[in-house]
Each structure stands twice: as C-alpha cells, then as structure tokens.
Chains A and B, each alone.
Chain A
Amino acid sequence: MPFPFLSIITFLPLIGALAILFFVRGDEEKTGKISGQVALWTSLITFVISLGIFKYFDPADTGFQLVEKYIWIPSFNIMYQKGIDGISLWFVLISTLLTPICVLSGIGGVHKRVKEFMIALLVLETMMVGMFTALDFVLFYLFFEGVLIPMFLIIGVWGGAGRIYASYKFFLYTFLGSVFMLIAIFAMVIHVGTTDMTAMMGGKFPKEMALWLWLAFFASFAVKTPMWPFHTWLPFAHVEAPTAGSVILAGVLLKMGGYGFIRISIQMLPEASAHFAPLIFGLSLVAIIYTSLVALMQTDMKKLIAYSSVAHMGFVTLGLFAMNTQGVDGAMIVMISHAFVSGALFLCVGVVYDRLHSRDIARYGGMAINMPKYAFVFMFFTLASIGLPGLSGFVGEFLSMQGAYLVNSWLAFVAGIGVILGAAYMLWLYRRLFYGPLEKADVKAMPDLNAREYAMFVPLIVLTVWLGVHPATFRDMFAPTVEKMIADYHQATGSR
C-alpha cells in the first residue's frame, strides 16, 4: 500500500474540525480562542505536509502521481481514487495555503460563534482539497457539491446584512448548475462503464453525445467560474460573506470552475470543447469588458473586487480555450495569481471593515496619511491586480492574451481593452480610499496593520513577487502536463 499522502492532506483538516466539535468546551470566549488556535495549527500543519508534494512529485511525469486507489462500492465499480498531476497540484497548494490565512483573518474578524466558524473553514478545506485530488467521478461530485454546505453556512451565519439572500442565491444557483453536471456524469459513467475519471480522458464519446455532455458541464462550471452571464450570484456572495469566506471564494472556489473546464471539458470532451470554443471566447470577452465597466461604477469595495474577479476569470477561460501553450500556461498563472492577489485584496478590505464595519468606498479617504503600511500593502496588490510587470498579474494576462492572439488577433485586442479598464477601476478605487484629505474622525483614528495582519499579507506578497519575477518556478511544475494535454487535445480534434 502506498503512503496515503493525498488522503492525509484531505482529511487532516476534518480531523481538526471534529476535535474542535467534540473536545472544545466551555464559555463562548474561551472556546472561540481555543478553537481558533486548533484550526490555525491544523491548517498550518496541513500546509506544511502539503509542501511535501514537491518532494514526491515528479514534474516530468505527465500522468497522475501519488495515486491512491481503494475499492469503495464494488458492485457499481466506484473507487476511492485520488491522484494529482501538474495542474491539480497548484490548486491543492493554493487551498492549503489560503486556509491558514483565512483562519488568521477569522481569529480577529469573527466575533460570534467562532467555534462553528473554524469548524466550517476546516471542513471547507477538506472538501476543496478532496475535490482537486479526486480521480473518481462520484468522489469528485461528492466534494464539488460538499463545498456548498460549509460555504452556505459561512455566508449565512457570519455574513453582512443581506446574507440570507446572498446565501440562498449562492446555494441554489450553484446547486442548479451542478445537477446538470450530475446527469452528464451519469451519461458518461454509463457510456464508459466505470466512474474512473482517468478512463474517460481523450475523446471517448461520440460527437453528438459529447456536445450535450459539454453543455451540461458548462452549466455547472460557468456558474462556478463564474462566466458572464452566470456571474450574478458572485457579487452578492462576496459582498455578504465574511472576509475569510470571500478569500476562499475568490481564491479557491472560483478555481473549481477553471479546474473543471480543464479536467472535464477539455480533457474528456475535446471535440466538443473545440466546437464550443467560440462561445467561450465570446462570453469571456463580454465578461472582461462588461464586468470591468460594472466595476467602475461600484460604490462598495467588495463588490468592485468581486466584479474584477469575474473579469480575471474571463482571461482564464479565454486562455484555456485558446488551447495553445501560451494560452493554457497563461490561464494557469492567472488562476494562481488571482488566488493570491484577489484573496489579498479581500483581506485588505477586511482590515478596514474590521475597524469601521463599512464597505462603502465614500466612507473612507486619505488613509495613506494615517495608515501608510496598509496603504503600501493595498497599493502592492492593486498593482499586482492591474498587471504591473514584475508582479504576478502581468505574467498571466500577458500569456493568455498572447495565446488568444494566436487564435485571433481581435480576441487579444478586446481583452487588451479590458486590461486598461482594469487599471482604471483599481487605481480609481485606490485614489478614493487612500488619497485626498483625511477628514473623518473615525477613519483618522484607525490604527495601522497589526502583527496578525502582517502574518496574513507577508506570505502573499512574497508569492506575488515570486510569481511575477520568476514564473518558471511555478510553470515548470505544470508545463509538461499542460503540453501533454494540448497534444492530446489536438490529436483528438484532429487540428494542427
């Protein structure tokens, strides 16, 4: 029996959650403190263990590695099967990295029912890691949908004023998308005769059927990514979720859609992906331009960043379906970068929200004067989000636009306008928040970043610079897998 590395990363957080549930007792304040510590250490240990992937993972091998396979439901040929390749590796690491940061944010930002909050975060981590490492369709769907339970509670219990509407919309929207995926999974499982995902790759489905399957999966992933016009749940969910929820939502949950597009739409249904690529391009461009314009008009900080997420995910889908090395590499890097940058921006919003309990942009102003360190961090991530060369955002957007250019120069042209708009709304947001006179008394009274907040931002700053200056560290891990994927795709579709 091989060492169950991935299972340990997946279920360690769950064990922590159970420990909090059963062993942490006492009065409200004490349990909150202890459960915060337990959650922090559990997630940190999980992160450290997950770094062991670098030791065991061989980037040159394009197949699935660290595979675990046990019989689960023998009569239906359903396996407990896990494994990672160069693509899913990064999503696993993003999940394990962001969870301790979210726990840190929760320790200071959540004041009621801290114990339950920590349990929900840890369960969420199990679901996320489980989903990215699943190689069996039932297992995949199990974790993909299982994410809804803790996330629904996180938005609904610890969210802002409109949390109930937001949590319902989040749950029902994504649930509706997923049930179409479930039906498509049934059709694929029946066609192939097993729930093993690796057995379904490489265009095994007749074209007519594949087109329907693709649309069913699209319903799920387009909602999750989210793509325009299926994005309407996202601004509400982001705005109302507590900071930690927003970070996970932007950092990991949105990537589930992108990961699904790679793993299922492209790898399993290549012909249909080629057929529907123009649709994806169209929707991506609309997303990039339209949501950027919408972001310009926002008066709520979180909503603005939420719309910017939709625009960034537009670059992801654009690059993915360009299906050339530059495009897919770009999409991967945009996803990784977006996890750091967007997560950090939500943490930045959380910093002032914890102090003044307002997300209204007009409520602030002139903070560069009294909070210089905070202003620096915010500026850093603003520039990273805009795509300043040397920071992570640039690499991804550049590559995915280059990939799109190879398909059609107009795609890259329109996407380029989106980059300009992105700079516009982010810089304008920054101007309104940090420059101008420092007039409001309560804004003036806000203290600068504290140690806990530094601990949240420093790792993200380091990673953002690293990814911007030396993207090869990241790319080398996934490049062979991506190359293989692209070659398989073109072989299956008969192009090139």
Chain B
Amino acid sequence: MNPEFIYSAFPEIFLAVAGMLLLLFGVFQGERMPHVVSYIGFVILLIGAVLVMQLGNITLPAVNFLHIKAECYGCDTFNHMFVRDAFARFSKLIILSGAALSLALSWPYLEYENLEKPEYPVLVIFATVGMMLMVSATDMLSLYVGLELQSLALYVLAAYRRDDAKSSEAGLKYFVLGALSSGLILYGISLIYGFAGTTNFQALAKLAFTHTVYEPGCKTACLTNALMPVQAPYFGAIIGMVFICAALAFKISAAPFHMWTPDVYEGSPTPVTAFFAAAPKFAAFALLARVLMIPFGGLMHQWVQIIVFISVASMLIGAFGGLVQSNIKRLMAYSSIANVGYALAGLAVGGAEGIQAMLIYFAIYFLNVLGVFGVILCMRRNDEPAERIDDLTGLAKTHPMLALCMVIFMFSLAGVPPLAGFFGKYFVFLAAVKAGLLPLALIGVLTSVVAAAYYLRIIKLMYFDDPKAAIDPIERRSPRAVLTFAALVMVLFVLYPAPLIDSALVAAKSITGG
C-alpha cells in the first residue's frame, strides 16, 4: 500500500490512536486520576493542531522519511475519499482549537459537579476525529462515516450528566432528531447515487447533473414550433441535494431546523454546550460548504435559493427569539442561530469571496462564543452553576475583570467595531452586496440591530444594575485563561487582521478553484 495515506491523514490517525490509548489508560487509571486523563486529552488535541499545521510544510522531515513526492502534497487519498487541502486544514485548526479550549473550560465544572470521568476527554477526541474526517471528506461515504462518528460521541456528551433530567432530555432529543437527519442525509445520498452512479465529489462535480430537454424555442409570436435543446438539471438529483442540505442545516442548527438547539444548549452540561457551539457546528458548516461548492457546484442556481431562505429565517428567528429568553444558555442558542444565519449569507454568495467571508466569520465567532461560555462557567453561586441571565446582575461591581471580558464579547457578538465580531460581519455582508444579494445583506444588518438589544441587556444587567446576590469567587484558572485569551483576540484582532483574512482566502480558493 502506498504510504502516502499515512502522511495525508496523519493527524486523524494520531488522534484516533491516541484517543484509544487514552481510553485504555482511563479504564485502568482513570478512576483514580480523571483530571490527568483530561490534561492528556488537551495535550493530544494540541499536538493534533500542530500536526495539521505542520503537514502543510513540505520541509517536514517525515516527508523525506516516507519518500513522498512533492506533487502529491494535498492530493486525495484513500481512493479519493479523503483530501487534505487548505480548506480542510483551516477548518481542522478551528475544530481542534475549539475542542481543546472547550476541554480546558470543562475542568473546574466537571470537578465541581462530580462528573470527572475519563470518558469525557476521550469522547471529545473521538468527536473531533469525526469532525476532521467530515471536513476532509470528498466522498459521500466518508462524509457519512465522519458525520456519524462525530454525532454518536456528541449524543453521549449531551446526556453526560445522566442524573439530571434536562441533560437526559437534551441527549435524547439530540439523538432522535440527529438520527432523523442522518436518515435524511442517507436518503439524499442514495438518490444522488441513483442518478449519478457515483458518490465521489469530483466525479459528481463533472456530471453537473444536467441533461438535455427540448423546449419550444420561442415563447410568443412564433412562426415555427421547433423545439430547442436546453440543459436542465435532473429533478431527482435536486431532491437528493435538498435532503442533504436539510440534514446539514439541522447539524448547523439553521432555521427552520433549529428547534432542538435551545433545549440541547440548555440541558447539556455547560462545557459540552461550549463545545457544541464551537466545533461541531463549524465542522458541519465546512462540510456543507464543500458539498455545495464541489459536487453540487453545477446546481448553484438551485441551492442558492435554499441557502438564502434558511439564512434569512435563521437571522430572524435568532434575533427575535433571543429577546425573550431568561436562561443565558438558551440565549446563546438563539444567538448561535442568528450567527449561523450570517455565516450562511457568506455561503449563499458562493465563490472564493463568499466562502472566505464565511470562514473569517466562523473563525472569529467560535472564539467569541467560547469566551462567553468561559464567563458562564465562572458564574457559580452557592456551589451551583448560575445560568439565569439575571444572575449576571451587578457583575461589574463584584467581578470587574470578568464583566469587562463579557462586555467585550457582547459588543463583539453585536458586531460593534472595533471588536473582531465587526470584521466577521463586514466581510460577509460585503460579499453579499457584491454578489447582488442586497436584500439579504439588509435583513442581516437589521436583524443584527435587533439582536444587539439582547446583548445590550446583558451589559445593562452587569453594569447598570446593582448586585443582588454575590457570585462565588473564581477559584480555577483554566476558564479564566481561556476567556482572557478570547477577549484579547477580540480586542487586538483589529491591529493585525491580515493573517486570518489571507489564510481564509487560500482555504476558500482550494474548494472554489478561484
């Protein structure tokens, strides 16, 4: 067998093997020292990120060791099922850092809630491997395998606090609806296979799903009744694509497939929610982008309508639904629905610019949202997690630095410059206006004003109101480190935004061919 597959998929292989070893270690030693398992898991994820980064460099010693030809760099392996291009690399870096940071956020929570078990980091690692497989998939089958590997781990994580009714409900709800969406995607894949005879992305892209139909050459005042050949897409293929879109819209929690999001966000343990909001959502997003751009690139006129619709619906539901929430995790669920709507606007534009805008948007959003969950995880009262929005009241008096970070995150989510969140919106809506999707951009900016109202509400509670009941002092460092890091990035991004913007462009071009 050609050893190049080891090279191409080395980070995934490493993570899978390391995850299994960690599981073994956890089985034998985990009960005694669960936190060590978690620390090792964190390190494994970081090493994975370094490997992903390093594999872009041809100069890596491993290249010469395996005698890999330079032109094979980035090519697809496993019989055209797996690709390692710039897009996959960019996505994997976000996924791995999201997973690692959310794992770091989980330590004090799990310790306080007596949930420290070795399974937790192992499940996170397996879910991460699934996500990495998803974003590298260039075949419907590898796509499905990755999606399921991710989903199964996530179902367990959602129900991780099994003594808690809400957590069990979240797990069950996520599982039932997730299984439904898996069914949808399989049905879609089978339809596509039926029409195309292949499941490979590149092969599907060449087919373009069109066939020749004969239509009257002229519509009015015709002299002849001659029929003209017209290229029209296969109707069945479109249905298959719609099924796949719907299933992935469920995974990214885009309206109208968003119903599960608030319940799962609220019920899952908070670090799991942070993980959900950062990594899997982006993985599904990247997958959706690749599926729409490569195999269904020829059907762009068809899918743009779908994406525009779910984008607008998500923006509206996310913005208005969040106004009436009292639980901060539910609020963040609606906020994430709205943000998915904005990122989808970039996808609706398509092309290198649209995908670039989408990637920039998500790269900023995932860190922003992790920071918010870091603040939520710091909020404890009487040894209980404080998750109602009212619990933030007067935080600026009791914990000024925590409140300052939260203000930064909230203004950034609202898209107020000079914070990083503004740049996410800037590029998305710039791309939308450029592509002529002016109504989409208008709805986007208007809903961001509506959504600003609930972000402002949090600031109001923290800064304008007097504290009612004190929040416990923060004892653990890890959430604080994560949220400080995130806040610094949000503030300092404005100074040197070029690296992210440029690498997002390279990543986008690798799937749009621009």
Residue B433 at the chain A interface, CB threshold 8 Å: yes
Knowing A167-B464, A168-B456, A186-B429, say if A75 contacts B498 (CB, 8 Å). Answer: yes
Residue B377 at the chain A interface, CB threshold 8 Å: no
Would you call A152 and B456 a contact (CB within 8 A)?
Answer: yes
Give the contacting residue for B448; candidates A143, A171, A179; CB below 8 A: A179
Give the contacting residue for A75; candidates B433, B438, B505; CB below 8 A: B505
Please, how many angstroms separate the alpha-carbon atoms of A495 and B407 in the complex? 50
Q: Which residues of B in the span 438-478 have a Cβ within 8 Å of any Cβ on A?
A: 438, 441-442, 445-446, 448-449, 452-453, 456, 459-460, 463-464
Please, how many angstroms separate the alpha-carbon atoms of A183 and B505 in the complex? 22
B241 to chain A, nearest CB (A): 30
Residue B175 at the chain A interface, CB threshold 8 Å: no
Residue A338 at the chain B interface, CB threshold 8 Å: no
Q: Which residues of A contact B502 (CB under 8 A)?
A: 74-75
Q: Which residues of B contact A190 (CB under 8 A)?
A: 430, 433-434
CB<8 Å pairs between A and B, sample of 27: A73-B497, A75-B501, A75-B505, A76-B427, A76-B501, A145-B417, A152-B456, A152-B459, A153-B459, A153-B463, A156-B459, A157-B396, A157-B463, A163-B464, A164-B460, A164-B464, A167-B460, A168-B453, A168-B460, A175-B449, A175-B452, A182-B429, A183-B445, A186-B429, A187-B433, A190-B430, A190-B434
Would you call B498 and A183 a contact (CB within 8 A)?
Answer: no
Please, how many angstroms separate the alpha-carbon atoms of A176 and B450 in the complex? 9
Q: Which residues of B contact A180 (CB under 8 A)?
A: 445
Interface string of B382-418 (1 = CB under 8 A from A): 0000000000000010001000000100010000111
Give the contacting residue for B417; candidates A76, A146, A157, A176; CB below 8 A: A146
Give the contacting residue for B464; candidates A141, A157, A172, A179; CB below 8 A: A157
Which of B407, B441, B445 neighbours the largest number of chain A CB atoms within 10 Å of its CB? B445
Which 8 residue pairs spanning A and B have beta carbons closest together?
A179-B445, A186-B433, A142-B417, A156-B464, A145-B417, A142-B418, A176-B449, A186-B430
Instruction: Name the residue of chain A whose CB is nearest to the CB of B397.
Output: A113
Instruction: Name the residue of chain B whose CB is nearest to the CB of A126.
Output: B418
Q: Which residues of A contact B494 (CB under 8 A)?
A: 142
Please, how many angstroms separate the alpha-carbon atoms of A172 and B494 in the complex? 23
Q: Which residues of A in the span 169-200 have a Cβ within 8 Å of any Cβ on B?
A: 171-172, 175-176, 179-180, 182-183, 186-187, 189-190
Q: Which residues of A contact B407 (CB under 8 A)?
A: 153
B36 to chain A, nearest CB (A): 35
B201 to chain A, nearest CB (A): 27
B499 to chain A, nearest CB (A): 10
Would you call A148 and B416 a contact (CB within 8 A)?
Answer: yes
Residue A149 at the chain B interface, CB threshold 8 Å: yes
Give the contacting residue for B453; candidates A73, A76, A153, A172; CB below 8 A: A172
Residue A138 at the chain B interface, CB threshold 8 Å: yes
Residue B422 at the chain A interface, CB threshold 8 Å: yes
A208 to chain B, nearest CB (A): 14
Would you call A138 and B426 a contact (CB within 8 A)?
Answer: yes
Would you call B442 and A183 a contact (CB within 8 A)?
Answer: yes
Q: Which residues of A in the span 132-158 have a Cβ within 8 Å of any Cβ on B?
A: 138, 141-143, 145-146, 148-149, 152-153, 156-157
Q: Which residues of B in the span 318-332 have a Cβ within 8 Å of any Cβ on A?
A: none
Please, how many angstroms separate the alpha-carbon atoms of A73 and B505 in the complex? 12
A225 to chain B, nearest CB (A): 19
Q: Which residues of B contact A172 (CB under 8 A)?
A: 449, 452-453, 456
Interface string of B474-514 (1 = CB under 8 A from A): 00000000000000000000100110011001000000000
B450 to chain A, nearest CB (A): 9
A136 to chain B, nearest CB (A): 13
Contacts from A to B (Cβ < 8 Å): 72-76, 116, 138, 141-143, 145-146, 148-149, 152-153, 156-157, 163-164, 167-168, 171-172, 175-176, 179-180, 182-183, 186-187, 189-190
Knowing A149-B416, A164-B464, A179-B446, say if A171 contacts B456 (CB, 8 Å). Answer: yes
Q: Which residues of B contact A176 (CB under 8 A)?
A: 446, 449
Give the contacting residue for A149; candidates B400, B411, B501; CB below 8 A: B411
Would you call A74 and B445 a contact (CB within 8 A)?
Answer: no
Knowing A146-B417, A164-B460, A186-B429, say if A171 contacts B452 (CB, 8 Å). Answer: yes
Please, how many angstroms separate the alpha-carbon atoms of A167 and B457 in the complex? 11
Please, how many angstroms separate the alpha-carbon atoms of A75 and B498 in the complex? 8
Q: Which residues of A contact B417 (CB under 8 A)?
A: 141-143, 145-146
Instruction: Name the residue of chain B whose CB is nearest to the CB of A168.
Output: B456
A120 to chain B, nearest CB (A): 11
Instruction: Name the residue of chain B whose CB is nearest to the CB of A187.
Output: B433
Would you call A156 and B446 a contact (CB within 8 A)?
Answer: no
Give the contacting residue for B430; candidates A149, A163, A164, A189; CB below 8 A: A189
Q: Which residues of B contact A145 (CB under 8 A)?
A: 416-417, 422
B7 to chain A, nearest CB (A): 30
Q: Which residues of B contact A167 (CB under 8 A)?
A: 460, 464
A347 to chain B, nearest CB (A): 24
Q: Which residues of A contact B453 (CB under 8 A)?
A: 168, 172
Instruction: Name the residue of chain B whose CB is nearest to the CB of A175.
Output: B449
Instruction: Name the residue of chain B whose CB is nearest to the CB of A179.
Output: B445
Would you call B498 and A73 a contact (CB within 8 A)?
Answer: yes
Instruction: Name the residue of chain A whose CB is nearest to the CB of B445.
Output: A179
Q: Which residues of B contact A72 (CB under 8 A)?
A: 497-498
Q: Which residues of A contact B426 (CB under 8 A)?
A: 138, 182
Please, how many angstroms separate the alpha-carbon atoms of A164 and B393 in the complex? 14
Please, how many angstroms separate the alpha-carbon atoms of A425 and B332 in the complex? 49
Give the contacting residue for B449; candidates A75, A142, A179; CB below 8 A: A179
Q: Which residues of A contact B441 (CB under 8 A)?
A: 183, 186
Q: Which residues of B contact A186 (CB under 8 A)?
A: 429-430, 433-434, 441
Please, how many angstroms separate the alpha-carbon atoms of A141 and B422 in the complex? 10
What would 11 more interface pairs be, CB under 8 Å, given A138-B426, A152-B456, A186-B434? A75-B501, A116-B400, A141-B417, A146-B417, A152-B459, A153-B407, A153-B463, A157-B463, A168-B456, A189-B430, A190-B430
